[in-house]
Amino acid sequence: MIKKIPNGVYPTMITPFTDDNKIDYNAVEQILEWYASKKVDGIFAICQSSEIFALSFEERLELIDFIMKHRPEGVAIVASGHCADDLDRQAYEANKIIETGVDAYVFISNRFAKADESDDVLLKNMYYVIDKIPEIALGVYECPHPYKRLLSPYVLSKMAQDPKFQFIKDTCCSIPQLKEKLDTLKGSDLRIFNANAATLLQSLKDGAAGFSGIMANFYPEIIGEECRCFESDPDRAQKLQDFVGFCSAAEGQAYSCNAKYFLQMEGLDITTKSRLCDENRLDALNRISTEQLHGMVSLYRDMFKIG
């Protein structure tokens, strides 16, 4: 039976590294426990925040296997991980990751068509791969690397006809585009999880199912409270949105090194090393900014009694 994944907050899980550039599984377990303590609804594992394009397939598979063996109780795990251009290789990688027991498998939109190829090519190639994997809940991630392939209303309308599709990680960062997409999906099982913090509240009002983005590595519990209260307490939701959106400027400040530094302040035993972000970018100024963000998160937790 295909599982129904819940609405809510899905952090894009980061990958910690040891001083000698190996995956730090002690820190992976701590991150999972931290997410669970913040009452996230799910985790988007093996995504761009996980540095999948800098991990070998063997590392990606080993990582998701570890995550599934240490998954927090009651937390959905959705995962991507296919980085190949070849469609048969993508199917092979997807099958191996699905075998670990993930709740949903998330495709990367730019893996199915080149930038100059049509939506019909994307759909044809996507279903070529789907036909080679078992029945499972599916999603699509508009990953910005190596190029951002946004899903058009036309593609979404086709996907919405297939009940296996449940999860879209949307990266358009545009309220009008989001609304058009959400209107297209009304009445279907396919739901949009916004990756952009600044547009989150309006997207929730327009029908988005939740949030899946970078900033859930800093204050997932505050985002979660906004998702829960936006209808019942709009004034509270707006105050939370003002914080959530403004502080999302941290995305451009040496991510994911700054997220790892933030988690150090949360008490995790984790380095700030990354394979994609030069650790030197986490300079004195970015460290001070991250420290101040941590102070603001603590203040908002206390002010709004979020814990």
pLDDT tens, position by position, 56-77: 999 999 999 999 999 999 999 9
Distance CA 43, CA 299 (A): 25
How confident is the model at residue 1, as a pLDDT? 74
Distance CA 145, CA 266 (A): 29
Q: Which residues, 6+ apart, have CB-to-CB distance to 7 below 8 Å?
A: 41, 191, 209, 210, 227
- Of 217, 164, 161, nearest in space to 184 by CA: 161
- Of 157, 153, 245, 243, nearest in space to 195 by CA: 245
Tokens of 19: 């001083």
Q: How do residues 245-302 score in pLDDT, each as one tens digit?
A: 999 999 989 999 999 999 999 999 999 999 999 999 999 999 999 999 999 999 999 9
For residue 70, the 8-state DSSP code is T
Instruction: Using alpha carbons, list the distances in angstroms from residue 298 to 223, 234, 262, 306.
Output: 14, 22, 12, 10
